[in-house]
Structure 1
Amino acid sequence: MTSETPSHLTDKGQELFSKLQQDYDIFDPDGVVLLTAAVECFDRVNECRGIIAKEGLTDLDRFGQSRPHPCVKIERDARAQMLASIRALNLGIETPVM
Structure 2
Amino acid sequence: MNLSKEAQTWKERLEAEYDLSDSGAQVLLLTMCEAFDRLRKCQVAIKKDGQVVKDRFDQDKPHPLLSVERDARAQLMQALKQLNLDLEVTPHPGPGRPPGK
Answer whether contact 1:24 1:91 (CA < 8 A) is retained: no
Kindly indicate whether residue 51 of structure 2 is the aligned counterpart of residue 66 of structure 1: no
- Structure 1 residue aligned with 2:83: 89
TM-score computed with the length of structure 2 as normaliser:
0.81
CA distance change for structure 1 residues 20 and 51 in 2, over 3 Å: closer, same or farther? same
CA distance change for structure 1 residues 92 and 59 in 2, over 3 Å: closer, same or farther? closer
How many percent of aligned residue pairs carry the same amino acid? 40
Give aligned pairs, total.
88
Per the TM alignment, residue 63 of structure 1 is displaced from its structure 2 partner at its CA by 1.9
- Structure 2 residue aligned with 1:23: 17
Q: Which AA in structure 1 matches 2:7?
A: G
Q: CA RMSD in A?
A: 1.2
Runs of 4+ in structure 1 over 6 Å off: none
Residue among 38, 54, 76 paired with 2:48: 54
**Following the alignment from structure 1 to structure 2, what is the Cα–Cα distance between the partners of residues 43 and 93?**
20
Consecutive unaligned residues in structure 2, runs of 5 or more: 89-101
Per the TM alignment, residue 93 of structure 1 is displaced from its structure 2 partner at its CA by 2.4
Q: Determine which structure has more spread, i.e. the larger CA radius of gyration.
A: 2
Kindly indicate whether residue 31 of structure 2 is the aligned counterpart of residue 43 of structure 1: no
Q: Which has the higher helix share?
A: 1
Consecutive unaligned residues in structure 1, runs of 5 or more: 1-6
- Structure 2 residue aligned with 1:3: none
Per the TM alignment, residue 66 of structure 1 is displaced from its structure 2 partner at its CA by 0.7
**Following the alignment from structure 1 to structure 2, what is the Cα–Cα distance between the partners of residues 56 and 92?**
30
Secondary structure of the corresponding residue to residue 67 of structure 1: strand
